[in-house]
Amino acid sequence: MTTPFPGMDPYLEEPNLWSDVHLTLIIAMRGALNAALPTGYVAAADKYVWIHEPDADARTRVIKPDAFIVQNREQTGISAPAAVTTPTKVVLPAIRREGNKYLKIMDAKSRRLITVVELLSPSNKESGPDRENYLTKRMDYITAGINLVEIDLHRAGQRLPLSEPQPAGFDYYALVCRPTKMPSAEIWPFTMRDTFPVIPIPLGPQEPDVPLDLRPCLELAYQQGKYGEEVDYSQPPVPPFSEADAAWAKELLASKAV
């Protein structure tokens, strides 16, 4: 069974389901990237871990990426750019919170971080420390010369800063930031009625982009997660559709006999 929607399935945005969807989709994306990456690069999955100190203004951030690409070159005398430094200890009491999984692309031998693929979660689009931490991390990548691919598959929440004025009339987007071209970036906006764009994943400056097609990744995640058995397409999704999208979705689901 596969999702009846042509691109993103809005029913998978359900908060109680998203955590599993996020994990399963990240793993599917990692497989797709490793099948397409040239020799010397590898994609891997990891997770950020945030340490919040309740009584202090400062917070320590430890980053362990969801997935990354590694380039197979000999280590040079030049230090690899690092997004953060892992602390050896923190002052108690502290609250440990595990954050979003993401993908990273690294140099296979030197482990130099080349590209990060971020799949946003609802907490990134809500006011609070998770959003602020992510925005800081976003700038850390660019400052360190690391390519950033940001994918937002959530209709709800406050959009992250994109441009002024912000693009309008879309539900989701894929953003590609190349440090050499900042402050310019590339964005692919799309709606629930559209197919997924094929996202160009940047590598080193002398390497061609690697295409990432999210549709087969979502289909694999949908099957492996057995989401068709959990989603009730006869009910409105969370968040709900607009009136126009509700009418379109009703016709689509009727034609698919879901």
What is the per-residue pLDDT for 92? 32
pLDDT tens column, 126-135: 998 888 988 8
* Range 137-153 average pLDDT: 90
Q: What's the pLDDT band for 34 if we cut at 50, 70, 90?
A: very high
Least Cα distance to 66 among 119, 17, 21 occurs for: 119
CA atoms lying within 13 Å on the CB side of residue 203? 25
CB burial readout 174-203, b (16+ within 10 A) else e: bbbbbbeeeeeeeebbbbbebebbebbbbb
> What tens digit of pLDDT does each residue of 191-233 get?
999 999 999 999 988 889 999 999 999 999 999 999 999 999 9
Confidence band of 110 (pLDDT split at 50, 70, 90): confident
Distance CA 180, CA 146 (A): 10
Percent of the chain exceeding pLDDT 90 equals 52
Element of type H or E holding 41: strand 41-52
pLDDT in the model for residue 85: 36
Assigned token pair, 49 = 């871990």
Average pLDDT of the chain is 80
Which residues neighbour 114 within 8 Å (Cβ) at sequence distance 6 or greater?
Answer: 41, 68, 69, 70, 71, 105, 106, 107, 146, 147, 203, 204
Q: What is the DSSP letter of 206?
A: T
Residue 189: its pLDDT value, please? 92
The pLDDT of residue 109: 75
pTM value > 0.85: no
Contact 153, 119 (CB under 8 A): yes
Q: What are phi and psi of 171, to 5 degrees?
A: -100, -35
Residue 120's Cα: distance from chain center in Å?
5
pLDDT in tens, 43-98: 998 765 444 334 444 444 444 444 445 555 443 333 333 333 333 233 333 333 44
**Bond into 239 cis (ω within 30):** yes
Q: Quote the pLDDT of residue 47.
A: 62
User: How does DSSP classify residue 95?
Assistant: E
User: How does residue 169 score in pLDDT terms, banded at 50, 70 and 90?
Assistant: confident
Q: Given phi > 0 = left and psi -120 to 50 = alpha, else beta, which region is 84?
A: beta
53-57, 104-108, 153-157, 177-181: range with highest mean pLDDT: 153-157
Q: State the amino acid at position 102 in one-letter form.
A: Y
Structure tokens at 244: 């126009």
Proportion of the chain above pLDDT 70, given as a percent: 77
48, 29, 1, 2: which is closest to 153 by C-alpha? 29
